[in-house]
């Protein structure tokens, strides 16, 4: 999605803006632009395509301005083009604006402004903001932005500079992240923390309805009524190294390999000898007896983790659990009430639909728990309770290590909430396996790399593939198929293996790759029968199982991958690793842009 950066200080703004935009590239974009003020003159350059195109242009121009804004755009209104790229400007070219999000009432505003004589230069919703500010500007940029934003509907973060106020950046946040970075005698602005990391760890996270004025000496933050707010400066503990590839050809491969470490990061503190210590759950545990239903709400990969979370929570707590895609949740009028627990799962903590679901749940007086990776994100701050999954900065658009730690987090929550339901022995056994899981993930990475690559060699030549499984393996199959689709562009479908014969079996043709997940002991024989049905129709079955079931599957599949033995409960954590690797290598063999797949963005802040 779009990215915003801003700088005001003693240095040349352009290299800082470009470096900031580089750090936001992973979010996905199709054009980029900057605006600086130099000798009281607004200068603006923007280009369709990757940042390199803009950089090449700027090399020749050598702008010296020490205040500026930068933006990477992910098209929503109007195709990717130089004209539609941000920053946008007013009629006179005196002020520039960058914007993330969507202005829902832009058409009505545009009509009004056109009737008043404003000329528009792009197809974007953003441009109306520039003209609205121009309309309201009477020498005070803060006041003009306040007035303009009061007319806007939608979710947005904006930043504005004007050559008439060359010592000021004005920024406003409504439902789209915006962060102020505090340096020595200089101030930064960004929509996402990585853009600030090269310069400062000290940040102020703006809340909805807050306006920030950054000037050469200081900053001020105002609420909607124009009152000055005292906001806490937070210290970010991510380090810049996380934003480097560390010798791996792609972030995705690096992040796959980080999984044992991030599992340790999450599990070490809560796993005690005699149980799980999870103070993050707060009073949910006291309230647990009253909970009549749990809802898990998320999007994409996070949603897939929720499907596994459901199975675990229902087993341990005996409370019915529903899993919803966040984009569907509030529109189906779910039966959420004060005895519901609604769990929102999100790597970024900013996904618009998941955030809307959280707000819906809060309106209905449900208790809410965020399972989130980004500290300080909106879901992190707005949920009643938050469990941080501690996967560190995830840069590749395709989520790997965050999914892994979402699964581990669900194990922690399920085991903690289920403590009363388990006998000591069963709990001790599960804790033992959970404690082992980081080392087992390490083993998996080593043993699975080669066979995953071989499996990818087979799959890469096909336009379609299937992933099948039963129980937890079906939920994992959904994630396997999504990963393959999004980075290798091979169409992949996941099916509950027993469901194939009700229609989809018609698509099984000679040689078609079918990844069959067989990690669950109680479903082993059922899966073998389903595999036989597929092979009888010519399907090429790539089986994935635990070491202990290898002998049963030999001869039943065309190609076999196996993960180290673990509890069936935890098998998805290890099973996801070969699925990630197969997708990675298939995408690599097909020369796909692995870290930034076409049309996708890392953090989806529009509905
Ligand atoms: C796929 C992927 C997406 C995200 C989804 C939700 O690899 O990463 O499907 O899982 O967009 O994002 P978050 O977790 O940030 O809410």
pLDDT in tens, 324-340: 999 999 999 999 999 99
* Ligand 1 site, residue 468, Cβ cutoff 6 A: no
Closest atom of ligand 1 relative to the 406 alpha carbon: 14
118 or 75: which carries more pLDDT confidence? 118
Task: Write out pLDDT tens, residues 121-155.
Answer: 999 999 999 999 999 999 999 999 999 999 999 98
- Asked whether residue 606 carries a pLDDT value surpassing 80, the answer given is no
SS3 of 368, please? strand
Are 248-421 and 437-591 the same fold in CATH? Answer: yes
Q: Confidence band (pLDDT; 50, 70, 90) for 427?
A: confident
Q: Which residues contact 384 (CB under 8 A, 6 or more apart)?
A: 282, 362, 367, 368, 369
CA of 207 to the centre of ligand 1 (A): 23
Our answer on whether the CB atom of 603 is closer than 6 Å to any ligand 1 atom is: yes
* Residue having the nearest C-alpha atom to atom 6 of ligand 1: 299
pLDDT value for 265 = 95
Shortest-distance atom of ligand 1 to CA 402: 14
How many CB atoms within 10 Å of residue 488? 25
Its CATH architecture, for the domain 437-591, is: 3-Layer(aba) Sandwich (3.40)
Q: Is 2 a catalytic residue?
A: yes
Residue 286: enclosing H or E segment and its boundaries? helix 284-287
pLDDT over 70 (residue 239): no
Which band of pLDDT confidence, cut at 50, 70 and 90, is reported for residue 509?
very high
**Angstrom distance (rounded) from CA 464 to CA 69:** 44
Indicate which atom in ligand 1 lies nearest the CA of residue 298.
Answer: 16
486 touches ligand 1 (CB under 6 Å):
yes
Strand partners, 517: 544
Q: Answer yes or no: is the C-beta of 523 below 6 A from any ligand 1 atom.
A: no
Q: Whose CA is nearest to atom 16 of ligand 1?
A: 346
**Given this model, what pLDDT does residue 492 score?**
98
In the predicted structure, residue 607 carries a pLDDT above the cut 80: no
**What's the CA-to-centroid distance between 253 and ligand 1, angstroms?**
17
Q: How confident is the model at residue 80 (pLDDT cuts 50, 70, 90)?
A: confident
Question: Atom 8, ligand 1: which residue's CA is nearest?
Answer: 399
Is 151 noted as a catalytic residue in this protein?
no
The finding on whether 604 has its CB within 6 A of some atom of ligand 1 is yes
pLDDT over threshold 80, residue 118: yes
* Centre of ligand 1 from the C-alpha of residue 399, in Å: 6
Q: Are 386 and 342 in contact (CB under 8 A)?
A: no
Q: Cα–Cα distance between 118 and 319 in angstroms, integer?
A: 59
| CATH topology classification for 248-421 | Rossmann fold (3.40.50)
Q: Which of 94, 460, 483, 602 is catalytic?
A: 602
Q: Is 546 in the pocket of ligand 1 (CB under 6 A)?
A: no
pLDDT category of residue 421 using cuts at 50, 70 and 90: confident
The best mutation among 302, 325, 480 to test binding of ligand 1, ranked by most ligand atoms within 8 Å of the C-beta, falls on 302
Domain parsing of the chain, residue ranges: 3-237, 248-421, 437-591
Ligand 1 atom with the shortest distance to the CA of 301: 10
pLDDT at 28 over 80: no
Q: Is ligand 1 within 6 A of the CB of residue 347?
A: yes
Q: In the CATH hierarchy, which top-level class contains the domain 3-237?
A: alpha beta
Q: What is the mean pLDDT of residues 372-382?
A: 92
Closest Cα to atom 10, ligand 1: which residue? 301
Q: What confidence tier does 241 reach under pLDDT thresholds 50, 70, 90?
A: low
DSSP state letter for 207: P
What number of residues does the chain have?
607
Q: Which two tokens stand for residue 257?
A: 């390999």
Q: Quick one: average pLDDT of 21-41? A: 90
By CB atoms closer than 10 A (0-12, 13-18, 19+), residue 237 is exposed
Alpha helices in 497-593 (DSSP H): 524-536, 550-553, 571-589
CB-ligand 1 contact for 580 (6 Å cutoff) = no
Please report the sign of the dihedral spanned by the C-alpha atoms of residue 159, residue 73, residue 15, residue 235.
positive
Q: What is the pLDDT of residues 170-220, one digit of tens each?
A: 999 998 889 999 999 999 999 988 899 899 999 999 999 999 999 988 999
Ligand 1 pocket member 566 (CB < 6 A): no
Q: 53 C-alpha to center of ligand 1: Å?
A: 28
pLDDT of 375 = 87
CB atoms within 10 A of CB 548: 13
| Ligand 1 centroid, distance to 255 Cα (angstroms) | 15
Convert the pLDDT of each residue in 556-596 to its tens digit: 999 999 999 999 999 999 999 999 999 999 999 999 999 98
Distance CA 366, CA 361 (A): 5
Q: Is 240 a residue whose pLDDT tops 70?
A: no
Q: Given a cut of 70, is residue 268 above it in pLDDT?
A: yes
Q: Residues 223-246: what's their mean pLDDT?
A: 83
Question: What is the C-alpha to C-alpha distance for residues 193 and 417, in angstroms, rounded to an integer?
Answer: 33
405: part of which helix (H) or strand (E)?
helix 401-417
Ligand 1 center to residue 148 CA distance, Å?
33
Give the side-chain half-sphere CA count within 13 A for 557. 26
Measure 263 CA to ligand 1 centroid, in angstroms. 19
Between the CA of 400 and the centroid of ligand 1 the distance, in Å, is: 10
The reported pLDDT for the residue numbered 596 is: 87
């Amino acid at each position: 999605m779009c990215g915003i950066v801003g700088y005001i200080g003693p240095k040349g703004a352009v290299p800082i803006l470009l470096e900031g935009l580089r750090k936001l590239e992973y979010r996905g974009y199709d054009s980029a632009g900057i605006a600086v003020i130099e000798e009281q003159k607004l200068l603006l350059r923007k280009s369709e395509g990757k940042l390199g195109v803009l950089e090449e242009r700027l090399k020749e121009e050598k702008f010296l301005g020490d205040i500026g804004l930068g933006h990477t755009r992910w098209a929503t209104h109007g195709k990717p083009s130089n004209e539609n790229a941000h920053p946008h400007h007013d009629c006179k070219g005196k002020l520039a604006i960058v914007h993330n999000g969507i202005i829902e009432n832009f058409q009505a505003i545009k009509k009004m402004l056109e009737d008043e004589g404003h000329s528009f230069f792009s197809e974007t919703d953003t441009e109306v903001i520039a003209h609205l500010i121009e309309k309201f500007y009477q020498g005070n940029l803060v006041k003009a932005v306040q007035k303009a934003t009061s007319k806007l509907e939608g979710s947005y973060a904006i930043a504005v500079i004007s050559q008439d106020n060359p010592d000021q950046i004005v920024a406003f946040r409504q439902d789209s992240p915006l962060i102020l970075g505090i340096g020595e005698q200089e101030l930064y602005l960004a929509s996402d923390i990585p853009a600030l990391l090269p310069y400062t760890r000290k940040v102020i996270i703006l809340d909805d309805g807050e306006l920030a004025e950054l000037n050469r000496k200081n900053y001020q933050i105002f609420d909607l009524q124009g009152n000055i707010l005292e906001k806490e400066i937070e210290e970010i503990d991510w380090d810049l190294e996380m934003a480097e590839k560390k010798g791996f050809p792609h972030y995705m491969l690096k992040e796959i390999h980080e999984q044992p470490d991030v599992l340790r990061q999450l599990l070490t503190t809560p796993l005690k000898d005699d149980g799980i210590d999870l103070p993050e759950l707060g009073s949910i545990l006291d309230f647990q007896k009253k909970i009549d239903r749990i809802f898990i709400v998320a999007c994409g990969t996070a949603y897939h983790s929720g499907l596994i979370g459901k199975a675990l929570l229902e087993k341990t707590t005996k409370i019915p659990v529903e899993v919803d895609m966040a984009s569907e949740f509030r529109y189906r009028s779910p039966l959420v009430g004060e005895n519901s627990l609604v769990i929102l799962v999100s790597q970024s903590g900013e996904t618009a639909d998941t955030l809307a679901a959280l707000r819906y749940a809060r309106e209905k007086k449900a208790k809410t728990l965020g399972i989130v990776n980004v500290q300080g994100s909106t879901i992190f701050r707005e949920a009643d309770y938050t469990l941080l999954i501690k996967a560190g900065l995830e840069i590749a658009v395709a989520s790997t290590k965050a999914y892994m730690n979402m699964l581990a987090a669900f194990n922690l929550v399920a085991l903690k909430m289920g403590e009363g339901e388990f006998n000591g022995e069963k709990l001790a056994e599960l804790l033992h396996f959970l404690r082992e899981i980081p080392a087992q993930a390490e083993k998996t990475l080593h043993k699975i790399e080669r066979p995953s690559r071989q499996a990818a060699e087979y799959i890469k030549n096909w336009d379609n593939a299937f992933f099948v499984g039963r129980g937890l393996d079906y939920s994992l199959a959904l994630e396997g198929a999504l990963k393959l689709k999004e980075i290798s562009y091979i169409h992949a479908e996941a099916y509950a293996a027993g469901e194939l014969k009700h229609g989809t079996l018609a698509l099984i043709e000679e040689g078609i790759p079918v990844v069959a997940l067989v990690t669950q002991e109680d479903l082993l024989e059922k899966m073998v029968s389903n595999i036989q049905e597929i092979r009888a129709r010519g399907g090429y079955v790539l089986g994935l199982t635990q070491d202990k079931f290898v002998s049963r599957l030999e001869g039943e599949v065309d190609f076999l991958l196996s993960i180290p033995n673990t509890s069936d409960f935890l098998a998805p954590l290890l099973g996801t690793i070969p699925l990630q690797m197969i997708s990675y290598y298939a995408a690599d063999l097909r020369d796909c842009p692995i870290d930034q797949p076409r049309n996708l963005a890392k953090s989806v802040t529009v509905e």
